[in-house]
Amino acid sequence: MENNTNALIWFRNDLRITDHEPLFTAEKLGLCALPVYIIDPREYEITPLGFPKTGEFRKQFIAESVIDLQNSLRAIGLELQIYRGNPEEVIPELAAKYHIKTVFAHAENAWNEQQIESKLRHQLASQNASLHLFHGATLLHPNDLPFEINELPDIFTNFRKLVEKKFIVRETFKKPKEIKGMITERISADAIHQLFSTTQPIIDNRAVLKFIGGENEAHERVETYFWKQDLLQVYKETRNGLIGADYSSKFSPWLAVGAISPRTIFEEVKKYEAERVSNQSTYWLVFELLWRDYFQFVMMKFGRKLFLKYGIRGAKTDKKGSNYLRAFEKWANGYSGNSFIDANMLELKLTGFMSNLGRQNVASFLVNDLQLDWRMGAMYFESQLIDYDVCSNWGNWAYIAGVGNDPRENRYFNIQKQAEMYDAQGLYQKLWLEF
Ligand SMILES: Cc1cc2nc3c(=O)[nH]c(=O)nc-3n(C[C@H](O)[C@H](O)[C@H](O)COP(=O)(O)OP(=O)(O)OC[C@H]3O[C@@H](n4cnc5c(N)ncnc54)[C@H](O)[C@@H]3O)c2cc1C
């Protein structure tokens, strides 16, 4: 007998239980839930450039986030099940096995993920089951935008001005209290690490922060950055820093895996503004979250075009591509010969993180100075960044390469000038090159 009160909840880049509409809905409807996380082997393949699509730092961070999610779910009555395989195959098999007619998940905004969603939807339909997707990755809900996605302005400032006219941020969904579970089988943390094949990478002690995955750690970071250290009120002045934990929020790894939602951060900003101070810095953090949203919407609008060499408008550039592997390897491994670039690339290689200022400079260097295909850089970042997010990464790279949105301005960064301005005493370069 099929059971319409069973629901499979598929966790993707939404590894949290607060502000989680699928879970909230399951509780509201009194459904019996099967929470599932699937390790998709395609995400861990070796790229044509010879490194894995998901590097060790990110893999470790995702595994930690999944373990933390497992604990949080257990506290509300659910036992997370973890599988390896293609979600569009694993989920229909589970639906058949457990007589499930309803699958809930958060929508993803990038091309490959959407292909998987549509295959899954099709397969489920053939089993008389359905996929319900919710939007929870952005600050602004796509349905609240004052334009259709295909009319998204090509220039960020125009987008921002339009959305700021009538700024709608939906309230967060409360953490569920208790949901009936379908399976009680427990998977140990060790077994989860084995499923991910994590290698517990050693993080260099010069790292800006010891990033640990999970919703609890995400909230801990908000607590520290906003409340304990009161750093939000100076964010705008410090955000172009290079050394240490304090110059920027460092929320990005947790946002990337959805351990915290942008709406939750927004609510904390509002609380901070009410209880501490409201100034340009508090506004600026929301402004940066809007950049993040913008790249999600750009991805929704342009789909696979964002991964093409000539970008979303077919701009012809004469970048040289994979024949220039040697120059690429020097760049990636931190011996390009330019000390500011090399310091940044070493930080990335040894810790999985790099400041926004560093990212802009090394990307411009690869595109404009080395004249390489920007996608080589984007692929390397995808592998190496602990906070890799498909929309933010490919969107920012295309933007700097001049093949994305807003191609009007020259994105050339004068590396020497930047180093003199932001690393005047050379402390950052010393930290990474003279250790
Ligand atoms: C070439 C390049 C590649 C990038 N790849 C990624 C990526 O894969 N994942 C990622 O999260 N960010 C990426 N960024 C954006 C930005 O560098 C990081 O979000 C930021 O450095 C993370 O540090 P933070 O959390 O301390 O940021 P903060 O300065 O504290 O900003 C707060 C949040 O705003 C968002 N944000 C800030 N700047 C940007 C931006 N330019 N684009 C989109 N969102 C932004 C992030 O979610 C960030 O966590 C990239 C930037 C460049 C230039």
Give the mean pLDDT of 216-242: 98
Any ligand 1 atom below 6 A from CB of 19: no
CA torsion, ordered 298, 300, 305, 307, to nearest 10 deg: 80
Q: How confident is the model at residue 2 (pLDDT cuts 50, 70, 90)?
A: very low
d(CA 165, CA 421): 35
> Residue 19: which residues within 8 A CB-CB, separation 6 or more?
136, 172, 173, 261, 263, 264
Residue extents of the structural domains in the chain? 3-134, 138-171+215-302, 308-433
Dist. CA 89 → ligand 1 center (Å): 33
DSSP code for 81: E
Helices (H), ranges, 257-408? 262-275, 280-302, 325-333, 339-351, 356-364, 374-384, 390-401
- What's the burial of 245, exposed, middle or buried (CB within 10 Å: 0-12/13-18/19+)? middle
* Residue for token pair 């895996």: 257
Task: Say if residue 313's pLDDT is above 70.
Answer: no
Q: Is 240 near ligand 1, meaning CB less than 6 Å away?
A: no
Model-level pTM? 0.97
pLDDT of residue 408: 64
Predicted local confidence at residue 1, as pLDDT? 40
Alpha helices in 3-155 (DSSP H): 21-28, 56-75, 87-97, 111-126
Cα 357 to ligand 1 centre (Å): 10
**What pLDDT, on a 0 to 100 scale, did the predictor assign at position 3?**
55
What does the pLDDT average to over 254-265? 98
Kindly report, residue by residue over 6-15, the tens digit of the pLDDT: 999 999 999 9
- The third-level CATH classification (topology) of the domain covering 138-171+215-302 is 1.25.40
Q: Which of 302-306, 317-321, 418-422 has the lowest mean pLDDT?
A: 317-321
CATH class for the region spanning 308-433: mainly alpha
Percent share of the chain, pLDDT over 70:
95
Say how many Å lie between the CA of residue 312 and the centre of ligand 1. 21
pLDDT in tens, 262-303: 999 999 999 999 999 999 999 999 999 999 999 999 999 999
Q: What are the tokens at 45?
A: 């393949």
Tell the burial category of 171 from Cβ atoms under 10 Å away from its Cβ (0-12, 13-18, 19+): exposed
- CA separation for the pair 17, 403 (Å, rounded): 37
- Asked if pLDDT for residue 104 goes beyond 90, the answer is yes
Q: Which tens digits make up the pLDDT trace of 338-383?
A: 999 999 999 999 999 999 999 999 999 999 999 999 999 999 999 9
Specify the pLDDT at position 403: 85
Ligand 1 atom with the shortest distance to the CA of 249: 30
pLDDT for 311: 73
Q: Is 252 in the pocket of ligand 1 (CB under 6 A)?
A: yes
**Is 69 within 8 Å of 20 (Cβ atoms)?**
no
Q: Is 153 in contact with 41 (CB distance < 8 Å)?
A: no
Q: Cα of 6 to ligand 1 centre, how many Å?
A: 38
Q: Atom 36 in ligand 1: which residue has the minimum CA distance?
A: 288
Q: Between 310 and 293, whose confidence is greater?
A: 293
Q: Which amino acid is at 270?
A: K
E-strand ranges in 135-223 read 180-181
Q: Read off the pLDDT of residues 107-148 as tens digits, 9 standing for 90 and up.
A: 999 999 999 999 999 999 999 999 999 999 999 999 999 999
pLDDT band at 320 (very low <50, low <70, confident <90, very high): low
Distance 48 CA to ligand 1 centre (A): 26
Average pLDDT over residues 175-184: 95
Length of the chain, in residues: 435
CATH of 3-134, one of 3.40.50.2300, 3.10.580.10, 1.20.58.2030, 3.40.50.620: 3.40.50.620
Ligand 1 site-directed mutation target among 138, 224, 240, 288, most atoms within 8 Å of CB: 288
Predicted confidence at residue 411, as pLDDT, reads 75
- Are the C-beta atoms of residues 195 and 91 closer than 8 Å to each other? no
d(CA 16, CA 106): 11
Q: How confident is the model at residue 314 (pLDDT cuts 50, 70, 90)?
A: low
pLDDT in tens, 400-414: 998 877 666 567 899
Task: Retrieve residue 429's tokens.
Answer: 């370069």
236 in ligand 1 pocket by Cβ < 6 Å? no
Expressed in angstroms and rounded, the spacing between residue 341 Cα and the centre of ligand 1 is 18
For the chain, what is the mean pLDDT?
Answer: 95
Does ligand 1 lie within 6 Å of residue 291's CB atom? yes
Any atom of ligand 1 within 6 Å of the Cβ of 251:
yes
Answer whether 361 contacts ligand 1 (Cβ < 6 A).
no
Residue 149: helix, strand or coil by DSSP? helix
**What band does 421 get if pLDDT is binned at 50, 70 and 90?**
very high
Residues 47 and 51: their CA atoms lie apart, in Å, by 6
**If you search the block for the tokens 């999970």, which residue do you land on?**
214
Dist. CA 271–CA 222, nearest whole Å: 12
| 392 CA distance to ligand 1 middle (Å) | 7
Kindly write down the DSSP assignment for every residue of 2-25, as one continuous string.
-EEEEEEEEESS---STT-HHHHH
Q: Is 143 exposed, middle or buried (0-12, 13-18, 19+ CB in 10 A)?
A: exposed
Closest-CA residue, ligand 1 atom 49, reads: 252
